[in-house]
Structure 1
Amino acid sequence: MNLADGVQLVSLIVLAVMMIGSALGVVLLSNIVYSAFLLGLVFTSMAGIYILLNAGFVAAAQVLIYVGAVNVLILFGIMLVNKREDFLPVKNAWIGKAATAAVCLGLFVLLGAMVLSTPWALSAAIPTGDDAMVVIGKHFFSDFLLPFELASVLLLMAMIGAIVLARRDFLPDELAEQNGRGSTALTLPERPRELVSSGVSSSKEN
Structure 2
Amino acid sequence: MNLSELIHEFILALIEPGILVGSIGTVSFINTANSAFSLGLVFTCISLLYFALNADFIAAAQLLVYVGAINVLIVFAVMITDQSVSSDSEKRGIGYFTALGACSILFLTIVCIFHKINDFYSSSIHQSEYLKLNLFEQNDVQNIGYQLLNKFLVPFELASLLLLVALVGAINPARDEDEGKDIAENQKKSFVSSTSPRDKSSFF
Report 1:76-87 matches (<5 A): 76-83=76-83
Whole-Å separation in 2 of the counterparts to 1:110 and 1:27: 19
Among 130, 134, 139, the alignment partner of 2:142 is 134
> What residue is the counterpart of 1:110 in the other structure?
109
Size of the alignment, in residue pairs?
179
Q: Which runs of 4+ in 1 moved over 6 A?
A: 84-88
Q: Sort the Cα spacing of 1:84 and 1:179 in 2 relative to 1 into closer, same or farther, 3 A.
A: farther
2:39 and 2:187 mapped to 1: Cα distance?
Answer: 42
Matched to 1:180, the amino acid is S
Structure 1 unmatched ranges of 5 or more: 183-206
Task: Quote the sequence identity (%).
Answer: 34
- Partner residue, 1:19: 19
Unaligned 5+ runs, structure 2: 193-204
The answer to which structure has the higher helix fraction is 2
Residues 60 and 175 of structure 1: CA distance in aligned 2, closer, same or farther (over 3 Å): same
Q: Distance in 1 between matches of 2:163 and 2:146?
A: 22
- Check conservation: 1:12, 1:49, Cα contact below 8 A: yes
Alignment correspondent of 2:174? 166
| Whole-angstrom CA distance in 2 between matches of 1:181 and 1:18 | 55
TM-score (norm 2): 0.72
Structure 1 distance, partners of 2:30, 2:12, is 29
Higher relative CO (CA 8 A, sep ≥ 6), structure 1 or 2? 2
**AA of the residue aligned to 2:140:** A
Aligned twin of 1:200: none
Instruction: Work out the CA distance in 2 between the residues paired with 1:8 and 1:181.
Output: 70
TM-score, length of structure 1 as denominator length: 0.72
SS at match of 1:136: helix
Contact 1:80 1:165 in 2 (8 A): no
One-letter amino acid of the structure 2 residue matched with residue 63 of structure 1: L
CA distances 1:27-85 after superposition (whole Å, capped 9, x unpaired): 22222211110101001101111111211111111111211222122212211113389
Question: Which residue, out of 186, 189, 197, partners 1:176?
Answer: 186
Taking the aligned partners of 2:191 and 2:156, their CA distance within structure 1 comes to 45
Match status 1:53 vs 2:53: yes
Q: CA RMSD in A?
A: 3.2
